[in-house]
Amino acid sequence: MWDFSTEPEFQKKLDWMKTFVRDEVEPLDLVFDRPGHNFDVTDKRALAAIRPLQEEVRRQGLWACHLKPALGGQGYGQVQLALMNEILGATKWGPRVFGCQAPDSGNAEILAHFGTEEQKKAYLEPLLAGEIVSCYSMTEPQGGSDPRMFETRAVRDGDEWVINGYKWFSSQARWAAFVIVMAVTDPDAPVADRFSMFLVPQGTPGMNIIRNSGLLGESEEEGAHAYIHYENVRLPADAMLGNVGKAFEVSQVRLGGGRIHHAMRTLGAATKAYEMMKERAVSRYTQGSELSRKQSTLQYIADSYVELLQFRLLVLHAAWTIDQGDKEGGRIGIGAAKIMSPRILKDIIGRAIQLHGSLGVSNELPLGQYWIKAAAQGLVDGPTEIHEITLAKRLLRGVKPAEGLFPTEHIPTRKQAALKKLAPFLQLREEELA
């Protein structure tokens, strides 16, 4: 059965979320608005403001819904999580209030699967409770997200591992209680077996933040993305998460579904810009008439609606495919969603900025922040170009080459075969057709 509806009980939860996010969460974005503010555990006023909101989310049974019940979540499927993240996508504080902010959500999954009992007690429990934040340290300055270029090494020394190297854009490291870092443990192994994962507590000697980079328009003091030098960082043997050389297996625990959630949050931001565009169209009078009577404005709105609907269906279908247990179909859907995320956001935000004129590029509307987010979406979880190549290779698997000289749909060749197939009918005499 094909169905586009949402279960009535879950729809009630979504409706509650929309009202709660608009009335209670969006004000946080306006007051606690420094870059990375939603991760700053040193701001006691912000923490005091969000705690009662988090408690209300817990009472509603919507806290950390991506986690299994044993970890305090609801164990929701990807379609339900996608619909929730669509609502959270237009707000910075929403994921923190609902206990599903990245990278904490993925790092919690890693700790739950691979952490020791001591690590779970020290880090997983407070992470799930929203008391601390974490960092995922993988990207390197010389190699970007290409692991074949990574140079950060972890060498075994007796009962310890010693890490040396540089990591770039390790977001939230300045506030994180711990960092999960990927390091080379066997440089001669195939790429898939070359790396291991390690848990590095904040304050470990040798983990030196060189600087915290900001995004476009942010000052150096406000930056939330750390450039880190790991200099003879010594860790106990049990600091390794998972087995030696199995970093990619560990990382898969935190990827996949998370990309669907990123895509739906992108949709939420694009939808906010679309709604702003419509309001502007009926509010602004220029050149003799309302903007809503200008042909280009009408084209903007129509194109944006169609693109939003296409993208929403694409992402929800990918989520549904994952819920059905179709791993290959899920990977294809995730890749397609990742490719389209920055395009959709960039196009719709660009139109919204154009309709708002000088106000659109000012810091008095959120459109500029969304514009930066569109650029970032083409880079997070790997550049779009890599996903395009990977997706195309998947789509070409099992495709057979044409037999013979011409393509399968070659009309003369097919017509010849059709004539042969239908020859008995073509040879019927007139009296036989009566």
Residue 161 has pLDDT above 80, yes or no: yes
CA distance 372 to 233: 34
pLDDT attached to residue 129: 86
Distance separating alpha carbons of residues 335 and 259, to the nearest angstrom: 9
> Which tens digits make up the pLDDT trace of 291-313?
999 999 999 999 999 999 999 99
259-263: average pLDDT: 81
Residue 144: the pLDDT is 73
Average model confidence (pLDDT) for the chain? 91
* Domain residue spans of the chain: 8-101, 134-251, 259-396
Confidence of residue 4 (pLDDT cuts 50, 70, 90): confident
Confidence of residue 49 (pLDDT cuts 50, 70, 90): very high
Q: What are phi and psi of 92, to 5 degrees?
A: -75, -45
pLDDT for the residue 257: 61
C-alpha distances (whole Å) from 214 to each of 94, 168, 202, 297 are 21, 12, 21, 34
1 pLDDT more than 70: no
* CATH fold label, 8-101: Butyryl-Coa Dehydrogenase, subunit A; domain 1 (1.10.540)
Q: Which helix (H) or strand (E) holds 418?
A: helix 411-421
* 318 close to 312: Cβ distance less than 8 angstroms: no
Eight-state DSSP code of residue 242: S
d(C-alpha 287, C-alpha 299), whole Å: 18
**Distances in Å between the alpha carbon of 50 and those of 53, 150, 173, 262, 366?**
5, 38, 21, 22, 21
Report the distance separating Cα 192 and Cα 96, nearest Å. Answer: 33
Q: pLDDT tens digits, residue range 345-391?
A: 999 999 999 999 999 989 899 998 888 888 888 887 778 888 899 99
Position 198: which residue type? F
User: What pLDDT is stored for residue 254 in this prediction?
Assistant: 64
The answer to whether the Cα torsion of 29, 228, 373, 10 is positive or negative is negative
Residue 433 has pLDDT above 80, yes or no: no
Whether CATH 2.40.110.10 fits 134-251: yes
Is the pLDDT at 18 greater than 90? The verdict is yes
Instruction: Look at residue 172 in the predicted model and tell me its pLDDT.
Output: 93
**pLDDT tens digits, one per residue of 60-104:** 999 999 888 888 788 899 999 999 999 998 899 999 999 999 889
Q: What is the pLDDT of residue 434?
A: 66
Contact 86, 21 (CB under 8 A): no
- What pLDDT sits at residue 256? 55
Judge whether residue 186 has pLDDT over 60: yes
Phi, psi of 297 (to 5 degrees): -65, -45
**Topology at the third CATH level for domain 259-396:** Butyryl-CoA Dehydrogenase, subunit A; domain 3 (1.20.140)
Measure the CA–CA gap between 241 and 237, rounded to whole angstroms. 10
At 255 the pLDDT is 59
The percentage of residues in the chain with a pLDDT greater than 70, rounded to a whole number, is 98
Q: Return d(Cα 59, Cα 203) in angstroms, integer.
A: 35
Q: Which of 27, 52, 104, 44 is nearest to 73 (CA)?
A: 104
253 versus 197: the higher-pLDDT residue is 197
Give backbone dihedrals phi and psi of 220, rounded to 5 degrees, phi first.
Answer: -60, -35
The beta-strand segments (E) located in 244-332 are 285-286, 289-290
Confidence at residue 208, expressed as pLDDT on a 0 to 100 scale: 97
Mean pLDDT of 153-179: 96
In terms of Cβ atoms closer than 10 Å to its own Cβ (0-12, 13-18, 19+), residue 80 is: buried
- The pTM for the full model equals 0.86
The span from the CA of 174 to the CA of 27, in Å, is 25
Long-range contacts: 144-148, Cβ < 8 Å, 24+?
144/383, 145/379, 145/382, 145/383, 145/386, 147/182, 147/191, 147/194, 147/195, 148/191
Do residues 264 and 82 lie in contact, with contact meaning Cβ atoms separated by under 8 Å? yes
Pairing of strands 195-201, 153-157: unpaired
Pairing of strands 153-157, 207-213: unpaired
Q: How far is it, in rounded angstroms, from Cα 42 to Cα 34?
A: 13
Which pLDDT score, from 0 to 100, does residue 170 have? 94
Host H or E run for residue 178: strand 178-184
